[in-house]
Amino acid sequence: MLSDNLKNRRKAQGLSQDELASRVHVVRQTISKWENGLSVPDSDMLPRLAEALDTSVSMLLAEPAAPEEETQIQAVAAKLAYLTEQWEKRSERRRKIWRGIFILLGLIAVLALFSVLTDSIPYQAVIKEYSDGISVIGGYNGATNIYIANSVLQTGVPVAALAAIAVSAVGFYKTRRK
């Protein structure tokens, strides 16, 4: 009774015989004798043992757990294992969804950046033609001024696309399987 309860409580608390011995101010061999049933602790030692093992004296002196209590514990453990499995599946599903969202965001941003860059190619050709072919002392003509104003307004799309690509890359990295 006492020896089994003492050993089970010590192991449940994750204590070694040395650690328990130092808590109740005895040597390790004394704990070993108590657990093997070769001796029993004094009556004044029982409260210190109970306190060190975070239990009561009556629990230390009680009969070991009945088999039906063990089956109840096993049933609770099985339910906890099932709930943990369900939580892991849900977490994995959420990780995959977020990973897909980040991939999609990155693709859209790359396409938007590509679209803006390909749209600017004709404008760049016009600018080059004006700057190479015509020498204007007073500045650029009206068409070129419109292009410059238009290109200043369009710089927001590439900047937003680059920011979205960066966010997508970080999100893609953070949602990897660890």
Dump pLDDT digits (tens) for 1-24.
788 888 888 888 888 999 999 999
* 8 A C-beta contact, residue 11 and residue 4: no
In this prediction, residue 48 has a pLDDT band, given cuts at 50, 70 and 90, of: confident
* 8 A C-beta contact, residue 4 and residue 62: no
pLDDT tens-digit readout, 143-155 = 544 455 455 446 7
* Predicted pLDDT at 149: 46
In single-letter form, the type of residue at position 66 comes to A
In this prediction, residue 64 has a pLDDT band, given cuts at 50, 70 and 90, of: low
Rounded Cα distance, 19 and 23, in Å? 6
* Predicted pLDDT at 1: 74
* Predicted pLDDT at 57: 82
pLDDT tens-digit readout, 95-135 = 999 999 999 999 999 998 888 888 777 766 666 666 655 55
